[in-house]
Amino acid sequence: MGMATPRRLAVRAVLFDLDGTLADTAPDLGAALNRMRVRRGQTPLPLAALRPLASAGARGMLAAGLGRTPADADYPALREEFLAEYASALDVGTRLFDGVPELLAGLHRLGLGWGIVTNKVMRFTGPVVAALRLSHAGVVIAGDTTAHPKPHPAPLLAACERLAIDPTACVYVGDDLRDIQAARAAGMASVAAAWGYLGDGGDVAQWGADAIVERPGGVLEVLDAAPRAAPH
């Protein structure tokens, strides 16, 4: 389907992925990985090399920085080391993307609810959400809140249940192919956040999202909500 004139998405709530969608968490994820590299006598990698895989968390960082995958025998120990490093400094360089505060304010003006659905486990999600002052979210679903992480629809359906809003009245905004897959499985509309990390899911135009937006403010432009947000 053409992306030039996306259909207006009639919704009562907007759900967001966290890493790479609301927040740029790559600086702290990358710093944790680089501390592991330095410990092993390796040079730090530039953040630009790590950023695309930041949405994949420990798995993405260990693949990019140490060439390890879950198939490797030492992966569990490396993963624990990485998570400990990340936990020690997860709110140093992490920031909301430019335009996100204005986007959330716009949703409030429109009377729309919003929430966070992330594969990041609550051990890390809670502190990051607090540090970013996002605790006023209507719901926060972490990677270990339900039995299955995205692309399974369970986390999105749990968010809808807590908001008491039907999935068909929600839209999910995410920067990874699995976000769009999860939204489709949950029966809700989806928006691809092209400003995010985009992972290794190939061409974002092939993901099948209902809309692709290049900046956070663009989310407001694809919503069909009354009253309309005033143009800025």
Element (H, E) at 24: strand 23-24
The three-class DSSP label of residue 204 is: helix
* Tokens read off for 2: 């053409």
139 SS3 class: coil
CA of residue 142 relative to chain centroid, distance? 11
Look up residue 53 and give its amino acid.
L
20 Ramachandran zone, left/alpha/beta (phi>0; psi -120 to 50): left
Q: Hey, what amino acid is at 200?
A: D
How far is it, in rounded angstroms, from Cα 113 to Cα 111?
Answer: 7
Looking at the annotation, which residues are catalytic?
17, 19
Q: How far apart are CA 31 and CA 93, in angstroms?
A: 9
Tokens for 59, please give them: 């798995």
The structure tokens listed for 175 are 């920067």
Q: Which residues contact 76 (CB under 8 A, 6 or more apart)?
A: none
